[in-house]
Amino acid sequence: MLIAIGFSGAWIGNLAKLEPYRPIFIGIALAAMFLGWRAIYRPATECNPDDVCALPKTKRIYKVLFWMVAILALIALSFSYLPPFFY
């Protein structure tokens, strides 16, 4: 995301100082994913008939997008643990 808004790779190298906080960031990411999962998969009785969450097509799109993001997050979280298997 930082590269998308214009930060260069050299500046992103300074983020190595945040490495000790990696477990905290992972915990925050997992908590956010859990809350997103809970919001998407809650029973339909919690949605009013006029709400967007009650529409089947919208719920299906939310589920597909959630699992796409979950897969990308899993790849991002495991990315730093994979290089030892290749070198």
The answer to whether residue 7 is domain-embedded is no
Which tens digits make up the pLDDT trace of 42-59? 766 667 777 766 677 877
- Cα–Cα distance, 70 to 37 (Å, whole number): 9
What pLDDT digit, counting tens, does each position of 25-42 carry? Answer: 889 989 999 999 998 887
Is 30 part of a structural domain of the chain?
A: yes
pTM of the model: 0.65
Domain membership flag for residue 75: yes
Is 64 a domain residue? yes
Residue 3 lies in a domain: no
**Structural domain count of the chain:** 1
Residue 69 belongs to some domain of the structure = yes
* Residue with tokens 């006029």, as numbered in its chain: 50
What are the tokens at 7? 């930060």
Residue that the structure tokens 């998407």 belong to: 40
